[in-house]
Amino acid sequence: MSDKVNLNVNGIDIQSDSNKLLIEACEDSGIHIPRFCWHKRLDPVGMCRMCLVEIETPRGKMLVPSCTTEITDEMVVDTESDVVKKAQEGVLEFLLINHPLDCPICDKAGECPLQDQTMAYGPGESRFVEEKRHFEKPINISEIILLDRERCILCARCTRFSDEISGDPLIEFIQRGNKTEVNTFPNEPFKSYFSGNTVQICPVGALTSTSYRFKARPWDLKSTRSTCNGCSMGCSIELNSSQNKMLRILGVDNDSVNQGWLCDKGRYNFEYLNSEKRLKTPQKSINNNFVDVEIQDVYSELSEIIQDRKTKVNFLLGSNLANEDYVAFREFSKSISDTEQSFYINDDLLYQGHFGQDNELAKIDDLNSSDAIVVWAEDLKEKMPVLYLRVRQAVKKGVKLIVFGHTNKTLSDIADVFYGKETVSKNFEIIKDVSKLNEIKNYVIGKNVTAIIGKSTPQQSDDSVTELFEFLRSNSNTKILNAYTKGNIYGAFQTLENIKGTRDFVENISGENTDLLFIVGADPVGRSFYSNQIKSIIENLDTVVSLDIFNHETAELSNFVIPVSSTLGEKEGSFTNIEFRTSRIDKLVPSPGQTVSDWEFITSLMNFAGLSNDSNSLEDLNNKAFVNIETSSKPVFDNLDKPSNLDGIINVYEPAINTSENNSTEALFYTGEKLYGDSVTERHSESISLLGSKKFIEVSQDIVDKFNLTSGQCSMVQGDIETTVSYIINDNLPNDLIYIPINRRDLNKFDFSKEIKVLPSRVKEALNVN
């Protein structure tokens, strides 16, 4: 804890931590000082000069910016003197002389600090009779972000965010003095995974998103706080809707988790909620045609199957369910079977991990307080973008960083030790003799290490991960953050008692042991590494029931498709993130047509089938969710809804993951996922679909030479599968290894254990003939 200091502000004595800036210390005591450029999460620049206050000095009163002034004991401050007021009015007038008067058409109007402060502190009429500064009005600086330079007040929030926080300085001040503007470079638009944050923190309407532009006025917005289920980070969010339509997501400053930031996928991948293509009625496949049916009929047909006591039922659950949904399936399974049932989670990378008593689990905040961070997992920037930001933040504070295995150099700009190529080549052999890696020894031996560890690709052996972890554990004081990246997978860990992944699904499931399969919020045929195998398994099952938001490649193979509501804004419940932090998800908009929640469906089915059931409400399920947690901080709704718990409650728990050992085979391809793909929700969110689903592979130069690739495009052929993709040369790939992003439907249909032919693009060849 830092020391306390006493100050006197406007005649009132207040106390604050000595490391605070004056503006924060005042804020904490309820004294608001107006500001534009200052942002709690950015380094202070003291540029706008709105926060000027007077302090007493030996040389008399002095005007200082409260956002850059560190407090000292016995400091005497006046935030309301005539001099201060005059200065603030002056600054506002200066800001307004070149600011357009277009509030009536500006997205920001109604929630605009400039507008608000003009009302509160501003001068009355304009004394500026000259012509205002003009810029071409709004310019697209990316597919989803617009820049209106006339409105910009040059607070440097966007530029600082990009430089300090996200580490991709693609937006900057251009020119100087009165001609200063923010802009991007012509060939290099604002291609950042985090661009939406700049829209959120822009204090005026200079940066806007195409997604929200002209959609609503703040005064008719409804809002609620919830948790993003995009990845296992579980960022705190605010949902905004108007007229029952979800319109916007904002980051909420949860100090321990996302600190206000979101990735653009988390921010904009809600647009699917409003898609016309949403499933609205239950459907049944009759002779390969889906027809609408009444939900009661579904219940009765399924009841009949279930009531046959010999029926063998299995579950393939997605990772975007709420905890309460998982519990409903658990209860259902218990009521139909005496033996303990496995739940298959739709995750290609699920493996045993490192839990249990001799493994100390890390919290996200431990990143900041450790000596070193070791990352050996899926590419954090692509899979857990906000955790990636937290790693960057820790490094900025002086924590050392060691990174293994990223073919696209993520974090190499700030890593103290970076293993790229070496790691992925020859089946991750580098890990097998970690103890020989002298470069990392200095940073870890005898140090406090936070290890973000998980599998980075399905072909990787479980051993290789364990190898590194064991090395760290025996040489340093290591805390581990097991890097399962998918949505609410930690919620599944907490609520289900026997968990397996898609690889086990492929190994275990067949018509022999499964009569009825529930696939819930999962499209493995469209997305998984095991797409083809899963497809043929499903095709051979008697009855398959899909619960989903959209029809998709997996649902199409099912006998029944049940439309369900989305965990994002259409239902209540709870979510558990990578550090076992459970927080609330909330409902803001109705879901369309006859949609039900997953838990409602399965609970109704239980009742219909006459199975014993003592949990009929969401609260019942929530109360039962955390059977293994018996503390006062059990994350039941009553607890979570206390104002002090809005940021969530952590309950560390040892999950029952029962995957079989994966001994790697020689990998011919390195598969992974990029942030943006063409999963079913992404396809139906316009902003994301503009950013994402381009089909490409990454290759080393020797592949280009070997296959005579010249046109920028090539064909990949395996049996009767053929697809044309563009290729990108990636120097960080070992020779002969091709990187394939498999969160694209055309690219996950291959069998990656067998050869895929790479040919110069036929399209181009045809052109050459002409």
Sequence-distant (≥ 6) Cβ neighbours of residue 93 within 8 angstroms? 122, 123, 126, 127, 128
What six digits make up the tokens of 644? 């002090």
Figure out which of the listed residues 94, 121, 135, 707 binds another protein, where binding follows CB under 8 A. Answer: 94
The residue count for binding ligand FES (CB under 6 A) is: 12
Figure out which of the listed residues 16, 79, 98, 566 binds another protein, where binding follows CB under 8 A. Answer: 98
Q: Is 124 in the site for another protein (CB under 8 A)?
A: no
Q: Is 178 in the site for another protein (CB under 8 A)?
A: yes
What six digits make up the tokens of 440? 């990392």
Nearer to another protein, 94 or 637 (CB): 94
Per-position x/- string for 21-60, each x denoting binding to another protein as judged by CB under 8 A, each - no binding: -----------------------xxxxxxx-x--------
What six digits make up the tokens of 336? 């139909």
Nearer to ligand FES, 64 or 646 (CB): 64
Q: Is 401 in the site for ligand FES (CB under 6 A)?
A: no
Could you tell me the smallest distance in angstroms from the CB atom of residue 159 to another protein? 8
359-to-48, 466, 473, 653 alpha-carbon distances in Å = 49, 12, 8, 12
Figure out which of the listed residues 57, 74, 111, 174 binds another protein, where binding follows CB under 8 A. Answer: 174
Nearer to another protein, 178 or 243 (CB): 178
Query: Alpha-carbon distance 733 to 425, whole Å?
Result: 8
Nearer to another protein, 178 or 289 (CB): 178
Q: Which does 153 bind (CB under 5 to 8 A by kind): ligand FES, another protein, none?
A: another protein
Nearer to another protein, 203 or 353 (CB): 203
Position 601, amino acid = F
Q: Which does 188 bind (CB under 5 to 8 A by kind): another protein, ligand FES, none?
A: another protein
Residue 711 Ramachandran class (φ > 0 left, ψ -120 to 50 alpha, else beta)? alpha
Edge-first strand listing for the sheet containing 649-650: 573-576, 581-585, 649-650
Query: Alpha-carbon distance 267 to 377, whole Å?
Result: 24
Which single residue is written with the structure tokens 């902003």? 687
Figure out which of the listed residues 147, 154, 345, 367 binds another protein, where binding follows CB under 8 A. Answer: 154
Query: Alpha-carbon distance 733 to 700, whole Å?
Result: 6
Figure out which of the listed residues 20, 29, 46, 749 binds ligand FES, where binding follows CB under 6 A. Answer: 46
Dihedrals φ, ψ of 573, to 5°?
A: 160, -155
Span 62-81, contacts to another protein by CB under 8 A: 62-63, 68, 70
Figure out which of the listed residues 187, 287, 289, 513 binds another protein, where binding follows CB under 8 A. Answer: 187
Per-position x/- string for 66-105, each x denoting binding to ligand FES as judged by CB under 6 A, each - no binding: -x--------------------------------------
Using alpha carbons, select from 66, 39, 451, 424 the residue that is nearest to residue 251: 39
Q: Is 169 in the site for another protein (CB under 8 A)?
A: yes
- Are 490 and 484 a contacting pair, CB within 8 Å? yes
Could you tell me the smallest distance in angstroms from the CB atom of residue 78 to another protein? 13
Nearer to another protein, 13 or 131 (CB): 131
Q: Is 38 in the site for ligand FES (CB under 6 A)?
A: yes
Sequence-distant (≥ 6) Cβ neighbours of residue 300 within 8 angstroms? 608
Beta bridge partners of 670: 739
Query: Alpha-carbon distance 626 to 599, whole Å?
Result: 16
Q: Rg for the chain (alpha carbons), in Å?
A: 28
Figure out which of the listed residues 14, 25, 35, 149 binds ligand FES, where binding follows CB under 6 A. Answer: 35
**CA dihedral defined by 437, 438, 444, 450, rounded to 10 degrees?**
-30
Nearer to ligand FES, 47 or 144 (CB): 47
535-to-318, 510, 513, 553 alpha-carbon distances in Å = 16, 11, 17, 9
Position 227, amino acid = T
Where along the sequence are the contacts to ligand FES (CB under 6 A)?
A: 35-38, 46-51, 65, 67
Can you give the binding site for another protein, defined by CB under 8 A? 44-50, 52, 62-63, 68, 70, 83, 86-87, 89-91, 93-95, 97-98, 127-128, 130, 153-154, 168-180, 183-188
